């Protein structure tokens, strides 16, 4: 008997059927490519039932080994995860993820400024939730193949494989009732937004920052199924870096178009988004909006500020002279918006790991502003709620050392009978309050449509 188990299963055009089975298991998580098959996103990755799970709340780490009581620690969470990733493992080159760490890193995880006395925690979920997994189901949409992989070939992994194969033949995706709400609330209406906007403009004028990313939160009581709504979300708003995370404390629905950090064979890539226009109601209007974004001096300047910030962040862990910008100001179109996207690359320096790279770049500059530290202080001062998972990151770090993570924008948290989601945008010196306020509505559109509401 071999040490590992790699078995090809029937190709899954969407992850919905497999995950309908896996979500019954503890800590089931789905990283969803939206069935894209390009260089930026081609894999669906599904895991459940971790060997170890970590959560972090206000600096305290909860560690839970399978079938054992939880323990608590004040140790540095990334060091704890690093220790888990040192396990002796099998590497399968054709799979992007060979088991390892998978979960989310909340925006406030390392922020000394996230506990402002004026800031509340509307989401009330941990600042981090990461599992260590020794098996996975992966679909490669470019090759149109799906696999079950386990680091160990034993009775348990064989039994799980047989259960998955049986479910693919006889199982069903239950047509649950999607999420529904009576009234959508926001922590920042137009009047409050305009007041904060003016304060930000003063900070910009005073030279505190060049750019500040300001966001507002939407929330509501709800009924219905988060999983049913996620299936609608991925159908109506396919993106390359989506996710559905099924934790005992919350369900996370993510429709992010933005890659944060990818690390493969020591090659680093980040693809910041900065610059947005809504989609037009007809082809002519849509094309005009797309070209307006491409030609916008303001949006290009915002994008370039973040590119420079990320080049600086990558410089903390990448080899000197390796950082390049192969692509600037590319327009990418999604169902509700056009985005301006750039690409920055580098080569990880000797002695650094994926977690070192993530730590020194976190949170992503595209969702803070520049310079990052001062922008985050101003965000903490002006925003009324901790961002929680919003503007953090969701993704994996494989036992192999490879990593792929998103920026957790277009992300909804659903727990008990409450849900919340955010929308924001970059404010610079020549921004206009009404346009920036409307941009938050444009970015929230996928969730407005999902819930059949408007602001």
Adjacent-strand bridge partners of 178:
225
- Could you tell me if 265 and 93 are in contact, meaning their C-beta atoms sit under 8 angstroms apart? no
Q: Which residue has the tokens 């444009």?
A: 442
Query: What's the distance, CA 370 to chain centroid?
Result: 21
Using CA atoms, how far apart are residues 313 and 243, in angstroms rounded to an integer?
Answer: 26
Other beta carbons within 10 Å of 388 = 27
Q: What values do phi and psi take at 249, rounded to 5?
A: -95, -15
Q: Checking DSSP bridges between strand 185-186 and strand 145-150, what pairing results, if any?
A: unpaired
- Count how many Cα atoms sit within 13 Å of the Cα of residue 274 in the half-sphere of its side chain: 35
Contact by Cβ (8 Å): 385, 217: yes
Contact 337, 278 (CB under 8 A): yes
Choose, from 16, 258, 302, 439, the residue flagged as catalytic.
258
Q: 3-state class of 304 per DSSP?
A: helix
> Of 23, 251, 262, 274, which residue is the catalytic one?
274
Please indicate whether residue 274 is annotated as part of the active site: yes
Rounded CA gap, 396 and 47, in Å? 11
Instruction: Note if 258 is an active site residue.
Output: yes
Query: CB-based burial of residue 397 (10 Å sphere; 0-12 exposed, 13-18 middle, 19+ buried)?
Result: buried
Rg (Cα) of the chain, in Å, rounded?
21
What is the helix (H) or strand (E) element at residue 255, kind and residue range? strand 251-256
Residue 149 tokens read as 């992989």
What residues does 403 pair with on adjacent strands? 263, 397
How distant, in Å, are the alpha carbons of 87, 279, 329, 341, 431 from that of 294?
Answer: 47, 14, 7, 10, 17
- Of the candidates 215, 213, 260, 251, which has an alpha carbon nearest to the alpha carbon of residue 233? 251
- Is residue 338 within 8 Å of 276, Cβ to Cβ? yes
Active-site residue list: 258, 274
């Amino acid at each position: 008997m071999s040490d590992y188990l790699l078995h090809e299963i029937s190709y899954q055009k969407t992850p919905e059927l497999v995950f309908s089975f896996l979500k019954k298991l503890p800590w089931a998580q789905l990283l969803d490519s939206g069935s894209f098959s390009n260089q930026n996103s081609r894999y669906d990755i599904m895991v459940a039932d971790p060997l170890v799970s970590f959560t972090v709340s206000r600096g305290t780490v909860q560690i839970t080994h399978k079938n054992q009581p939880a323990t608590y620690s004040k140790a540095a969470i990334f060091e704890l995860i690093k220790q888990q990733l040192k396990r002796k493992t099998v590497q399968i080159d054709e799979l992007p993820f060979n088991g390892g760490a998978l979960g989310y890193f909340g925006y406030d995880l390392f922020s000394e400024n996230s506990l402002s006395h004026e800031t509340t925690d509307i989401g009330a979920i941990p600042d981090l939730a990461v599992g260590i997994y020794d098996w996975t189901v992966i679909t490669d949409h470019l090759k149109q193949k799906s696999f079950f992989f386990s680091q160990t070939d034993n009775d348990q992994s064989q039994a799980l494989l047989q259960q998955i194969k049986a479910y693919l033949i006889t199982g069903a995706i239950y047509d649950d009732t999607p999420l529904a709400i009576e009234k959508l609330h926001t922590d920042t209406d137009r009047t409050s937004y305009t007041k904060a906007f003016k304060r930000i403009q003063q900070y910009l004028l005073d030279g505190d920052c060049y750019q500040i990313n300001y966001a507002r939160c939407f929330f509501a009581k709800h009924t219905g199924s988060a999983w049913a709504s996620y299936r609608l979300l991925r159908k109506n708003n396919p993106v390359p870096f989506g996710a559905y995370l099924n934790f005992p404390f919350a369900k996370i629905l993510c429709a992010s178009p933005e890659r944060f950090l990818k690390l493969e064979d020591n090659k680093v890539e980040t693809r910041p988004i900065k610059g947005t226009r809504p989609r037009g109601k007809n082809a002519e209007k849509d094309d005009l909006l797309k070209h307006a974004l491409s030609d916008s001096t303001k949006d290009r300047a915002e994008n370039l500020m973040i590119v420079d910030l990320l080049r600086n962040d990558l410089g903390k862990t990448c080899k000197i002279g390796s950082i390049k910008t192969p692509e600037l100001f590319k327009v990418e179109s999604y169902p509700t918006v056009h985005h301006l996207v750039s690409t920055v690359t580098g080569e990880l320096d000797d002695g650094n790991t994926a977690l070192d790279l993530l730590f020194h770049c976190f949170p992503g500059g595209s969702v803070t502003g520049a310079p990052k530290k001062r922008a985050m202080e101003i965000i903490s001062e002006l925003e009324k709620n901790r961002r929680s998972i919003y503007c953090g990151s969701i993704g994996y770090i494989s036992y192999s050392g490879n990593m792929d993570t998103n920026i957790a924008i277009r992300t909804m948290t659903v727990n008990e009978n409450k849900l919340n989601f955010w929308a924001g945008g970059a404010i610079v010196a020549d921004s206009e309050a009404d346009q920036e306020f409307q941009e938050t509505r444009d970015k929230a559109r996928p969730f407005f449509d999902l819930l059949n509401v408007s602001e």
